[in-house]
Structure formats: structure tokens, C-alpha cells
Amino acid sequence: MKGIINRWISRITLLVGLKVVLIMGIALLLIVLISSAFSIISGKAAISQFLNKGDQDEDIQYDLISESWMDKVSWTDPASGQRQTGLNSEMRQQLKEAEIGDYKGLLWVFGQVEDPCELECVGKLAEVLEPKEVKIEYFDVVTETTTVTTTTKIKPPAPSTSPTNTNDKESGSDTKPTVTSESSTTTTKKAFITSLVTYNGLHSFKYMNKKTTSTSTSSSQTESEQKEVVTTTVTTTPMLLSVEREIDYAMLYEAMKEVRMDEEDENEFRFVLNQALAYDPNFYDDGLFEEGQSEVDRSGQIIDVPADTLLAWPVPSLKKISSHFGMRVHPITGERRLHSGMDIPAPKGTDVIAADEGVVIRANYNSISGNNIKIQHPSGYITWYMHLSKTYVKEDDSVKRGEVIGAVGSTGRSTGPHLHFEVFEPGAANSTNPIPFFKGGEE
């Protein structure tokens, strides 16, 4: 009997022990989850405050520190060969348009590692991370002005000698207008940034000429003549087309050594960096650490396309992108490969227009591109429209900018209705990122 009681006591003790262990395990798990949740919430709150309120309440002026390099960076003037210091307002605007040169977000993330980075520390990091090796070139800005003046002489009314003279058709009649035209061309040199090195590599800027036209009309009249003056100004100026980057993180790793990051700090650094990216994909430049970092899921991103762009948006009714230009996992083959254009999702039958005037050099079908159209443009660029359900043009047809050339479909190798759109630079065998072509030009 005593043995039976002992066995039951042992069983009860074991069960109680298991329950205690289980409860402690659950409690520990809850503590970890709550701690992680608070960490994420507080992290996102800090990121939100930094992004939305700037650093006005902070002791460290990240904005001013990250922009100070623009005042002291030196570069060689290609015209004189002399060294110059600082970037002018136009150069700074070029960097802003290219979204390069602002690294305040990265400095802020450095400040969030376990040992907070104080002002002196941030200053040292800024010196390590600030862009270097700025190269400048002068390009021509050409302004062509044409003034057309139309002058019409007004005959004075004939002297009145009798009441019947009021019907004289000669009196007060206008003479035939005289038209004169004057043209002038002025060329000025403007400095453009062509390359610089930042914490994630060498950036090379590519430009193409953009023409803008403006017209003004004025008129005046005296007793003897009426004059109308029409002035047309055509300005040709380089516009940023794309930025090519050679990945190199030497400066970033040097900055990490500067603050003596250990493995734990580095993991926290990457964690905060990824939180920032999740909160706002534009928090810092794409491509940090791993190539995959740049592959942010932007499915369904709405695109803001200005009125004045190098190319017209090919699906006017839907300014949306489901897949960007760049490396991705192919949705059909599952292979990691370059997506050589951008995908614009739209219902089958939605109008597709020519992005610019040109001549159709291809309008056919194949098993990959489906129904597709290629257009050669006067500038030398080529645009390619794929997976169309219908094509309304044929080879050698001339098309105008904005002309409907086809309809969205899912022909060829496609998972659903969309337009796959590609752009080729003059003479290039491979396509380039189309997005820069849909940025507004300077007026």
C-alpha cells in the first residue's frame, strides 16, 4: 500500500513540475513577445518622429550635418583646371532630383545602436560618410528666340467734302500687313555633376537634352498702325536621365569601424535600418549591405507623373506599377533574373499609347512578348510595348505622341493583364530603367 501511495505522489509531483515548467515557458515567451512588440513600436515611433518632425527637438542637427559636405567639398573646374570649393544651388538641386547625397537617415540609425552616438561621434561619422570625388562637366544650354512682328498701316480717313462721301470704301481702310522676323541664339555653359562617390559606391549621372518652348504675344496700336509681336523661345538644356551605380561599401564599413561596432551592435544596426526601410522605403538609398535590400515590395505603387515629361505615360488611365525594373524572382520561371522593364497592371482592353512620336519598327507576335510593338523615336531612343491584346499599328507606320497603338492584354508569357514597357537608349542592346523618363523637365 505504501508503495502505491509513493508512486502516486511521484506522479503528482511530476505533473506539478511539468505544469510549472510549462507555465514558466509560456510566461517567458509572453515576456519576449511583449518586449519585441514594444521594441518594434518604440522603434517605429522614433523613426516616425525623425521622418515627420525632423530633428528640431534633437540636440543633434542631422539635416545640417549631412548637408555640410556640400559647402566644403572640392572639385576641379574643367574650364580653368582650378580647384573650386562648395556646390552651388543648381548642383544641389541636381543631387536632390537624383535623391543622392543626403545621408541623415544613415547617421540617425548609427545613433540608435546600443552605445548612443553623441554629437562628436556623429561629426566623425559624417566626415567618413560624406560624398567625395565630385566631378563636374559644363554642358551647353541653348536658347533660341524668334520674334515675328506683324505691322498693319491704318490709312487716315479721307477729308469729308460732302455727305455722300461717307460711303467711300477707300477712306479709313487698312493696308496689307507687313511681317518681319528676327531670330537669335544664345549659348551658355552650365555646370552639371557627372559623378561622385557615396557610402554605397560610385554614382555616374547620365543626361539627355530636353527642349522646352514658351510663347508670348503683345500688341499695340497708334493712329497710323497696328502692331502684333509674337516671341517664341525654345530652350534646350540637359536633363537628368539616369544614375548608374557601382556598389562599394568601403566608406560604410569604415564608419562602422569608427564607432567600434561589435557583432551585437552590427545586428542592432541592421535591425533598425530594416525597420526604417519598412516604415519608409526612401529612408536611405537602396542597396545597403545586400543586393536584395533594394528589392522592396512595392506592388501596386501609384506613380505621380508630372505633365511635362520626356515620355508620355503609356497607359494614361492607370498610373500604377506592379513590378519595377531591376533584379527579381521571375513569377513564372522562379529564377532570379533582371526584370528589363516595368509592368503596368490594367484591365484587358485598356488603351496603350505611344510614349512619343516615332516610327513603328516592329509589330508582331512571339511566345514570350505576345503581341508587341517597338517604336523608334527621333531622339534615337526605342520604346517597347508587350503582352498586348490588340495592336492598332503596323510596321513602318508613323505615330504621334499620345496616339493609341494597342490595348492591354496577357498574351505571350504573362500571368495576367498588364503592359510590360521597356526603353532603350540610342544604340544600346539592353534596356534601361524607364522611371527617369517620367520625371518632369525644367521649365
Each residue's pLDDT tens digit, 221-240: 888 888 999 999 999 998 87
Compute the average pLDDT of residues 50-55. Answer: 42
16-30, 266-280, 421-435: least confident range:
266-280
Q: What are the pLDDT digits (tens) for 186-214?
A: 999 999 999 998 877 888 888 888 888 99
- Average per-residue pLDDT for the chain: 75
- Of 220, 247, 274, the last residue of a domain is 247
User: Which residues are CB-neighbours of 436 under 8 A, at least 6 positions away?
Assistant: 240, 241, 242, 310
pLDDT in tens, 366-378: 878 889 999 999 9
Residue 98 has pLDDT above 60, yes or no: yes
Q: What domain range includes position 391?
A: 297-438
Kindly report which listed range (278-282, 326-330, 365-369) carries the lowest average pLDDT score: 278-282
Q: Are 241 and 207 in contact (CB under 8 A)?
A: yes
Residue 263 lies in a domain: no
Q: Which residues contact 382 (CB under 8 A, 6 or more apart)?
A: 361, 374, 375, 376, 423, 424
| Predicted TM-score (pTM) of this structure | 0.50
Choose between 56 and 350: higher pLDDT: 350
CATH number at residue 339: 2.70.70.10
Q: Is residue 118 part of a domain?
A: no
pLDDT at 170 over 60: no
For 320, other C-beta atoms within 10 Å of its C-beta total: 16
From 189, 220, 247, the end of a domain falls on: 247
Question: Residues 242, 302: one domain?
Answer: no
Grid coordinates belonging to 117: 552616438
Helix, strand, or coil (residue 119): helix
Tally of domains in the chain = 2
Residue-wise pLDDT tens digits, 285-310: 433 333 332 222 333 445 556 667 88
Residue 389, pLDDT score: 92
Higher pLDDT, 377 or 121: 377
Residue 202: its pLDDT value, please? Answer: 85
Same domain, 341 and 229: no
Angstrom CA distances, 5 to 11, 91, 244, stand at 10, 89, 81
Tell me what pLDDT residue 108 has. Answer: 73
* pLDDT, mean of residues 325-347: 66
pLDDT exceeds 60 at position 274: no
152 and 212, same domain (yes or no): yes
Same domain as 403, residue 331: yes
Reported as a pLDDT band with limits 50, 70 and 90, residue 180 is very high
Domain boundary among 247, 274, 309: 247
Cell digits of residue 293: 535590400
Would you state the pLDDT for residue 440? 55
Which pLDDT score is estimated for 20?
61
CA angle 21, 24, 25 (to 5 degrees): 85
Q: How far apart are CA 287 and CA 73, in angstroms?
A: 24
Q: Are 209 and 322 members of one domain? A: no
pLDDT value at residue 297: 32
Rounded Cα distance, 271 and 81, in Å: 45
